[in-house]
Amino acid sequence: MKKTLCGIIPPLVTPLLDNKTLDIAGLERLIEHVIAGGVHGIFILGTTGEAQSLSFNLRADMIKETSKILNSRLPLLVGISDTSIDDSISLSQFAYESGADAVVSAPPYYFATGQPELVEFYENLIPQLELPVYLYNMPTHTKVSFAPSTIKRISQNEKVIGFKDSSANGAYFQSVTHEMRDRENFSIFVGPEEMMAEVVLLGASGGVNGGANIFPKLYVDLYNAAATQNILEVRRLQTKVMQICSTIYSVGSFGSSYLKGVKSSLSILGICNDFLAAPFNKFDKEHRMLIQNAIKNLDLK
């Protein structure tokens, strides 16, 4: 991680055979698939990776296997978010020993924390980590949003090298960008893919976009169009991304439609198993057929 990371970093799904077992062959195909698509790094054990639904040991397995397959071809970011600071540190240590490049940390998510507690938590946690850290904002799931001033404060520690925002709040995203404008070598990524192009046009580092699991080249192309300020191409590709969001992620009206849709698509494309860890379940045949049609109707050339 010598230089600042930018581009498309897929938040990798965790291919599973059941609640206890990785689909390792699927994981291999998935990693080769996203590398072939041109992505700029890989992020495992995030929300799209269902990290919280996996046992500690299964998370460790995922780190080990991904690192082995990836074999340093791309930067590897590892989610260590947990409600226990000790288990977070253990995961980070394991990631370090497995050859990961950085860790990604969202706040503890059982108890709601305030801003002073966030600052204290990270001032406690970060010195205990061997790897550089990205902060991860996911307020719907963690019950707290990093105030821009909190990010600035925590980032006085140079081990903090970036921020990923999955709040979908565009005003907030620009506020963080503004607050951090004088900090060098600090990456700011956006989670929701609907917003990726527009924030890159305004200077953001890139996207940690779930759709890049399925169609990595599309997201890389859209990122490149935005990074080179090719607005015409941005608008053309944005329509494709929006078609994905409004079809593949919106089948059924489950809270988990997005996760189901991503894994179902990967299964339909022959990449990996579509098993979802408890408390969720994969799509039934009828819903899977809707995903199949949605993919068929995409015209990605």
Q: Per CB under 8 A, which of residues 72..101 are in contact with its own copies?
A: 83-87, 90
- Dist CA 276 CA 263 (whole Å): 8
Task: Compute the Cα dihedral for 231, 236, 241, 243 and give only its sign.
Answer: positive
Q: Which is nearer to its own copies, 25 or 85 (CB)?
A: 85
Tell whether residue 300 is a contact of its own copies (CB under 8 A): no
Q: Which is nearer to its own copies, 240 or 288 (CB)?
A: 240
Tell whether residue 55 is a contact of its own copies (CB under 8 A): yes
Binding piece for its own copies, criterion CB under 8 A, among 211-219, 251-259, 266-274, 293-301: 251-259
Binding piece for its own copies, criterion CB under 8 A, among 5-13, 71-79, 211-219, 252-260: 252-260
Tell whether residue 255 is a contact of its own copies (CB under 8 A): yes
> At its nearest, how many Å lie between its own copies and the CB of residue 236?
11
**Binding residues among 157-186 for its own copies as defined by CB under 8 A:** 168-175, 177-179, 181
Question: Which one of 69, 99, 121, 157 is in contact with its own copies (CB under 8 A)?
Answer: 121
DSSP state of 90: H
- Dist CA 207 CA 227 (whole Å): 12
Rg (CA), the chain: 18
Question: Which one of 30, 34, 45, 58 is in contact with its own copies (CB under 8 A)?
Answer: 58
> At its nearest, how many Å lie between its own copies and the CB of residue 111?
7
Question: Which one of 130, 281, 293, 300 is in contact with its own copies (CB under 8 A)?
Answer: 281
Written as one string, the DSSP assignment of 213-271 is GT-HHHHHHHHHHHHTT-HHHHHHHHHHHHHHHHHGGGSSS-TTHHHHHHHHHHHHTTS
Q: Which is nearer to its own copies, 83 or 293 (CB)?
A: 83
**Binding residues among 260-279 for its own copies as defined by CB under 8 A:** 277-279
DSSP state of 10: -
Task: Compute the Cα dihedral for 142, 291, 215, 246 and give only its sign.
Answer: negative
Tell whether residue 203 is a contact of its own copies (CB under 8 A): yes
154 contacts: CB under 8 Å, gap ≥ 6: 118, 119, 122, 123, 126, 135, 146, 160
**Binding residues among 124-163 for its own copies as defined by CB under 8 A:** 124-125, 140-141, 148
Q: What are the tokens at 284?
A: 């039934």
- Dist CA 249 CA 216 (whole Å): 16
User: In terms of Cα–Cα distance, which of 62, 67, 61 is closest to 48?
Assistant: 62
Task: Give me the 19-38 binding string for its own copies, x by CB under 8 A, dash otherwise.
Answer: xx------------------
User: In terms of Cα–Cα distance, which of 214, 171, 221 is closest to 197?
Assistant: 221
**Binding residues among 210-229 for its own copies as defined by CB under 8 A:** 229
Tell whether residue 112 is a contact of its own copies (CB under 8 A): yes
> At its nearest, how many Å lie between its own copies and the CB of residue 266?
19
Tell whether residue 298 is a contact of its own copies (CB under 8 A): no
